[in-house]
Amino acid sequence: MKASAFVYPWDVVGDGEAAARIAALGVEQVTLAAAYHATRALTPRHPRHRVVTAEHAAVLYPPDAARWEGRDLRPYPAGDWAPGDAWGEAAHALSQAGLEVHTWVVLAHNSRLGAEHPHTSVVNAYGDRYPWAPCIAQPATRAYVTELAAEAAVRPGARGTELESLGWYGLAHLHAHDKTGGVPLGDAGQYLMSLCFCPACREGYGRHGLDADELATAVRAALEPVWRGEARDEGWADVEKLLGAETAVATRAYREETARTLQEEAVAAVRAAAPDGFQVLLHADPVSYHCGANAGVDPAHILSVADGVVVPCTGGAGPIGPFAEQGRAGAVLAANVTVVGGMGGSPHTLARDAARARDLGANELRLYHAGLASDADLAAVRSALADL
C-alpha cells in the first residue's frame, strides 16, 4: 500500500534533517499543509522550537494579490509560524529527499473569517453563530472556497491535493477551551445543532418546501429531549423521530444538494488550474448528513467527481467499505490512521491496522502525523512500513 505522511511546513523549514527523516520512514509521499486552520502544535525534534502557535487560519504561501483583488473574502497570510513561501521551501526539501509532494488544503473551516465577517457563519436554530464554520450555501463563501481550493491546491511542484472540510461544518469542533461535551448529542443532536438558519439557508429551505421560522421552532422542540438526556442515539432514524420524517428528509435534501454542488465546483476549479495527471482527493465520510473535516458525501457521486477519498480508519476500522463497494477502477481509497500515541493513535499496531483497512477496501495509507509523533512512534512506523 502506498503510504503518505501528513506534514506541516514548520516541521521542515529550519530543520535540515527533517526531510531525510521523513523519507526514512518508508513513505513514498507527503501531504503538506498549504492552507490550514488555527492550531497549536508540538515540534519535538526541531532545532529551533518545540511549540508552534498558528494564531489563525492561513495560507502557508504568498497568496496571489491579483486573484483576490476586490474580494471581501480572501485568505489570510500566515504570521511568523510560516513566513514567506513556507510551503514552497518545505516542498523543495521534501522533493530533494525523493518524496512526492501533495498539498493539504483546509477549506470551510476558518475562525478568523467568522470573527471578521460574522455574516458568513453558520447560525443555529437558537440564533448562535459558529465562527469556525463558514456557511457553504452563501454565494460569496462558495466563491471564496472554490477560489481558495484552486490556488492552494495547485502549488508549484505539487503532484496532487487532498481537500479537507469541503462540505458542511457543524457544532462538533474543538474551539478554544471547549466546554460543549456536557450533554451527549449523538448523531441526531449534532445534525440538529448544525442546521443553518442564515439568510441563504432560510431561502434554501423555502425551495424545498419548508418555512424557515417553523423549521427553527421544530428544531428547538426536537432538541428538548436531547437537553434532558432522554434522546437515544439511533443516527438518522433518531433525526426523523425528533424532527418528523418529512421535514428531516427535506432538510437533508437541501444540505446534500448544497454540499454536492460545491464539491463539484471546487474540484472543477482545481482541475482547471492543475496540470494533467494532477490527483484530487477529498477527506470524506460516507454518511452524507455528517458534518466536519471529513465531509459527508454520497460515495457513488464523489467518486465520479474526485480521484478518491481519504477516510478516518485509526485502528484499521473505519467507514471505507461504502466507497470500496462502488467498485470504481483506479479510485484512491486512502485509510487515514493516527500514528501519534499521545493523540489516541497506536503506531505499534500499524501493520495490523493497515492489513485490516486493506481488507475493508483501502488501497493507500495516510499517516497522521509525521511532525507531531514522538521518536518512539516514528520508529514503530518505520518498522511497520518495512513489513508491509
Rg (CA), the chain: 21
Q: What is the mean pLDDT of residues 40-62?
A: 97
- Buried-state track 303-335, b at ≥16 Cβ within 10 A, e below 16: bebbbbbbbbbbbbebbbbbbbebebeebbbbb
Question: Is residue 232 pLDDT above 80, yes or no?
Answer: no
Q: Is the dihedral of CA 54, 58, 61, 66 positive or negative?
A: negative
C-alpha cell at 76: 489570510
Cα angle for residues 333, 252, 117 (degrees, 5° grid) = 90
> Is the per-residue pLDDT at 277 higher than 90?
yes
Per-residue pLDDT reduced to its tens digit, 300-338: 999 999 999 999 999 888 999 999 999 999 999 999 999
Residue 159 CA from chain centroid, whole number:
19
CA max distance for the chain? 60
Nearest to 170 by CA among 153, 189, 152: 189
Helix 199-207, helix 212-227: angle, nearest 10: 100
C-alpha angle with apex 106: 103 to 112, nearest 5 degrees? 135
**Domain-wise residue ranges, the chain:** 2-122+133-179+278-387
pLDDT for 341-377, tens place per residue?
999 999 999 999 999 999 999 999 999 999 999 999 9
36 pLDDT more than 80: yes
DSSP letter assigned to residue 77 = B
Which residue(s) pair with 111 in the sheet? none
pLDDT computed for residue 302 by the predictor: 98
What are the residues whose beta carbons fall under 8 Å from the beta carbon of 161, sequence distance 6 or more?
34, 102, 103, 104, 105, 152, 153, 154, 270, 274, 278, 279, 280, 281
CA distance 106 to 307: 18
Distances (CA, A) of 238 to 32, 186, 208, 213, 363: 39, 9, 21, 22, 34
Nearest CA to 334 out of 319, 351, 349, 352 is that of 319
Q: Which CATH code fits 2-122+133-179+278-387?
A: 3.20.20.80
Helices and strands counted in the chain (H then E): 15, 14
| Cα–Cα distance, 169 to 110 (Å, whole number) | 10
73 and 67 Cβ atoms separated by less than 8 Å: no
CA atoms 271, 147, 254, 242: torsion sign: positive
188 secondary structure, DSSP code: H
Interval 165-178: pLDDT, tens: 999 999 987 777 78
Please give the grid coordinates belonging to residue 50: 518545540
In eight-state DSSP terms, residue 74 is -
Q: What are phi and psi of 54, to 5 degrees?
A: -85, 105
pLDDT at 272 over 80: yes
Give the Cα separation of 87 and 367 in Å (integer).
19
Residue 90 Cα to chain centre, angstroms: 21
pLDDT tens-place string over residues 130-185: 999 999 999 999 999 999 999 999 999 999 999 999 999 999 877 777 878 888 89
Distance (Å, whole) CA 5 – CA 371: 9
Percentage helix, strand, coil for the chain under 3-state DSSP, each rounded to 5: 40, 20, 40
Q: Could you give the CA distance from residue 281 to residue 151 in angstroms, rounded to a whole number?
A: 16
Question: How much is the pLDDT for 12?
Answer: 98
Contact by Cβ (8 Å): 313, 362: yes
